[in-house]
Amino acid sequence: MTVAELAAKIGADVRGDGTQTVSRCGGLEEADEHTVSFLANRRYVKRLKDTKAAAIVLSPGDADRAGERTLLVASEPYFAFREAVVTLHGFRNQPKTGVSDLAVIHETVTLGRNCCVQPFAVIEAGASLGSNCTIYPHCVIGPNVTIGDDCIVYPGVVIYDDTVIGNRVTIHANSVIGEDGFGYATEKGVHHKIPQIGNVVIEDDVEIGAGCAIDRATLGSTVIGTGTKFSNLIAIGHGTKVGPHNLFVAQVGIAGSSKTGSHVAIGGQAGVTGHITIGDRTQIAAKTGVVQNIPADQQWGGYAAMPLDDMKKVAWEVIHLPGLVEEVAQLQKRIQQLERGRDAGTGQSAQ
């Protein structure tokens, strides 16, 4: 389609030649004369002069720095570029409907309309799937699991018994939902397992990345709220309540019985201890160790976690520690020289 046609679909204004034809999306460096690219971070402004892209999606402020190029100007450029990718490429095509003869499905399972169950998937007794679900090979869906409409479960996923999954949920390869939580009672030095009799509830429009693990609750439910998105290798402890529309980056770990509010964002490799609450719209920097409650609308980082501005000051001081250590060593040496001079009665000034 032309740049002008694309602009109308993604809600952007054209600056420049709207008659150029575009067929794909790509980064600034690899773009060619049929590619739509984008600029969402100003550190890459300098690349605009070299890119061969037919058009660039960017914000009004960045458009003023872009020079004589064809631009698609949008108030939210990253979302506008997302719309361009959807328009020109669409989403991954899922397999056609139908149940493979090589799938193992218990006779009590309920399958909705237009479901696709691929070879070597196992669906156990009492499970129920809504309409338009796709179950890839080597998935195991345990007894009495409930899955809503339009869900996609990629290869190797294991969903334990009694898990409840809403509509339009995507679970990527090799994730495990509803395994036993880490619950033991220690008596006379022996760790005795506590039966984990709760379950996991995943609400609508959630996406779980590859290799994630979500513990079932000891009692009640571990809950992943509506619209929340997980990257890969996320670990959620038993009884945790993740609020709606959270974003967790890779290798986040949350211990049991913690709670996050709505629109919480947690950076990669951050850890959250158990039994604490993180307020709405709070942002946690990567590698943060959260060991206390955090109020709403905060930005925290560091270990142990502190307000982000304080963390930056601490990080700055740590960077300069080697120089400070050397300076202290020189001062100590000078003091020793002055003390030796005094003890020898040289009359040296202590100045």
Q: Are 64 and 13 in contact, with CB atoms under 8 Å apart?
A: no
Closest Cα partner for 5 from 89, 84, 90? 84
Relative orientation angle of helices 321-343 and 308-319, to the nearest 10 degrees: 50
User: Is 275 among the residues known to form the active site?
Assistant: no
Type of residue found at 152:
I
| Burial annotation 316-349 (CB, 10 A radius, 16+ → b, else e) | eeeeeeeeeeeeeeeeeeeeeeeeeeeeeeeeee
| C-alpha torsion sign, points 84, 88, 91, 97 | positive
CB 148 within 8 A of CB 167: yes
- DSSP SS3 for 235: strand
Q: How far apart are the first and last CA of the chain?
A: 79
Amino acid sitting at position 150: D
Does residue 255 have a cis peptide bond before it, meaning omega lies within 30 degrees of 0? no
Distance, CA of 309 to chain centre: 23
Where are the alpha helices (H) located in 25-124, listed in sequence order?
A: 60-63, 77-89
Of the residues 172, 238, 245, 263, only one is catalytic, namely 238
Question: E strands, 100-234, where?
Answer: 104-105, 110-111, 116-117, 122-123, 128-129, 134-135, 140-141, 146-147, 152-153, 158-159, 164-165, 170-171, 176-179, 184-187, 190-193, 199-202, 207-208, 213-215, 221-224, 229-230
What dihedral angle (degrees, nearest 10) is formed by the CA atoms of 176, 182, 184, 186?
Answer: 140
CA dist 74 and 134 (Å) reads 35
Please say whether the beta carbons of 12 and 74 come within 8 A.
yes
Residues labelled as active-site residues: 238
